[in-house]
């Protein structure tokens, strides 16, 4: 199916009247389960939340319901992760030492074990995607896709269990696991993988798996090095600036941006290879590659804009000012301006082809420095994320 047909299908679907009449009983049951879970959590843990956290919890139900209606795999992904995470929590029985004493926790479902298995699955997925591309084998790509899904399930399970483990250390230590480089590298890998899997299913772009999985494997490789060399997997109390409900929305929005920008750069790599005569018969059409690159950057830019605004509001609460030209803030602005210019040139001047692809690829270098380089080489108010 060519890109024009995809666009026609999308436009017809979005413009069709009676959207809610298209929903099935399974869709409504999924939404009801999410709402029930949110209300249960609110009733049981509401006394420990401030008003903002309660609003986030309640709004999460319709948000994830809409996501599940739009992308069906979410409807089995969320219950499966919940089942595995709750099973692990039951095995702990309130004792953190159980992670080293009970078989299923020690070798599969403790946060460190699940994240290690996630890493293995991502590496194997990269290998099978490469085999599929090199051999023109549909089986290789299919196995790679399944391994990527397995990595996503295990990664989210590890994150949920890590959240619980932080509270076993102490109620004053407990926090959502997106507060340091170890945790956000996991978040980056998971978000990038999920966006890729969405495009893979929607546009039939399994041939892009080797490209996207390379950047995910690089992130996982750094994560493993960082874990071994810095003992980064150890859960630490939050620094005062991070003890805020803002973190729960600012950081995920930020990393949706980072993940989709990385995805766009790897699609751009595939575009450049094909446009120069490499892998011509193995990659999707240039038109489809260009469209996926554009959609990834558009989605990333929207979330990165939201994250930047939220970051300014958080800074005003934490440090007394919306903007302080801190190195992290400055480089976030550079990233934003880079992709704002890319989108402006595309919409106003028709930016396409190799120029757009090279720009998206260079954008990954800018984004990587904002994500990691600032922590390595610069210091400022965000120095709590230093290597």
Print the SS3 string covering the chain: CCHHHHHHHHHHHHHCCCHHHHCCHHHHHHHHHHHHHHHHHHHHHHHHCCHHHHHHHHHHHHHHHHHHHHCCCHHHHHHHHHHHHHHHHHHHCCCCCHHHHCHHHHHHHCHHHHHHHHHHHHHHHHHHHHHHHHHCCHHHHHHHHHHHHHHHHHHHHHHHHHHHHHHHHCCCCCCCCCCCHHHHHHHHHHHHHHHHHHHHHHHCCHHHHHHHHHHHHHHHHHHHHHHHHHCCCCCCCCCHHHCCCCHHHHHHHHHHHHHHHHHHHHHHHHHHHHHCCCCCCCCCCHHHHHHHHHHHHHHHHHHHHHHHHHHHHHHHHHHCCCCCCCHHHHHHHHHHHHHHHHHHHHHHHCCCHHHHHHHHHHHHHHHHHHHHHHHHHCCCCCHHHCC
Give residue 11's pLDDT.
44
Give residue 152's pLDDT.
98
pLDDT interval class at 18 (50, 70, 90): low
Lowest mean pLDDT among 150-164, 177-191, 234-248, 328-342: 234-248
Other beta carbons less than 10 A from residue 2's beta carbon: 11
Residue 16 has pLDDT above 50, yes or no: no
Give residue 50's pLDDT.
83
Other beta carbons less than 10 A from residue 294's beta carbon: 20
Give residue 382's pLDDT.
59
| Nearest of 292, 320, 105, 112 to residue 206 by alpha carbon | 292
Q: Tell me: the pLDDT tens digits for 244-279?
A: 888 989 999 999 999 999 999 999 999 999 999 999
Q: pTM surpassing 0.95? A: no
pLDDT interval class at 8 (50, 70, 90): very low
Give residue 384's pLDDT.
52
Give residue 15's pLDDT.
45
Average the pLDDT over 105-119 and give the result: 96
Average the pLDDT over 67-88 and give the result: 95
Give residue 303's pLDDT.
97
C-alpha 149 chain-centroid distance: 13
Give residue 242's pLDDT.
82
Q: Tell me: the pLDDT tens digits for 284-295?
A: 999 999 999 999
The mean predicted confidence, pLDDT, of the chain is 90
Residue 10 has pLDDT above 50, yes or no: no
Residue 305 has pLDDT above 60, yes or no: yes
Residue 381 has pLDDT above 70, yes or no: no
Give residue 7's pLDDT.
47
Average the pLDDT over 65-85 and give the result: 95
Lowest mean pLDDT among 3-7, 100-104, 154-158: 3-7
Average the pLDDT over 130-155 and give the result: 96
| Nearest of 337, 331, 319, 320 to residue 381 by alpha carbon | 319
């Amino acid at each position: 199916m060519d890109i024009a047909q995809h666009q026609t299908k999308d436009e017809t679907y979005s413009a069709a009247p009676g959207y809610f009449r298209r929903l099935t009983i399974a869709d409504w049951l999924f939404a009801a389960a999410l709402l029930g879970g949110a209300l249960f959590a609110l009733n049981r843990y509401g006394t420990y939340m401030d008003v903002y956290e309660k609003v986030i919890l309640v709004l999460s139900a319709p948000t994830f319901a809409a996501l599940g209606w739009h992308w069906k795999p979410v409807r089995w992904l969320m219950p499966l992760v919940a089942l595995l995470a709750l099973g692990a929590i039951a095995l702990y029985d309130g004792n953190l030492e159980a992670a080293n004493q009970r078989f299923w926790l020690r070798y599969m479902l403790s946060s460190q074990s699940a994240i290690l298995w996630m890493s293995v699955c991502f590496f194997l997925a990269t290998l099978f995607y490469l085999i599929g591309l090199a051999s023109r084998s549909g089986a290789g790509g299919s196995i790679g896709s399944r391994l990527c899904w397995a990595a996503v399930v295990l990664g989210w399970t590890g994150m949920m269990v890590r959240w619980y483990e932080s509270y076993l250390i102490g109620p004053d230590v407990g926090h959502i696991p997106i507060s340091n480089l170890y945790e956000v590298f996991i978040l980056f890998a998971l978000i990038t993988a999920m966006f890729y899997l969405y495009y893979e299913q929607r546009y039939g772009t399994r041939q892009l798996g080797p490209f996207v999985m390379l950047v995910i494997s690089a992130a996982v490789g750094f994560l493993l090095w960082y874990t071994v060399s810095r003992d980064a997997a150890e859960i630490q109390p939050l620094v005062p600036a991070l003890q805020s409900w803002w973190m729960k929305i600012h950081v995920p929005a930020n990393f949706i941006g980072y993940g989709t920008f990385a995805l766009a750069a790897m699609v751009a790599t595939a575009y450049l290879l094909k446009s120069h005569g490499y892998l011509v018969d193995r990659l999707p059409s240039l038109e489809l590659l260009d469209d996926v690159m554009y959609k990834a950057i558009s989605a990333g830019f929207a979330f990165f804009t939201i994250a930047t605004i939220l970051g300014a509001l958080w800074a005003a609460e934490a440090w007394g000012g919306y903007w302080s030209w801190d190195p992290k803030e400055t480089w976030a602005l550079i990233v934003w301006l880079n992709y704002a210019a890319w989108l402006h040139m595309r919409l106003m001047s028709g930016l396409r082809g190799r120029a757009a692809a090279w720009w998206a690829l260079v954008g990954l270098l800018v984004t990587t420095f904002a994500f990691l380089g600032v922590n390595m080489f610069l210091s400022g108010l965000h120095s709590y994320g230093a290597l």
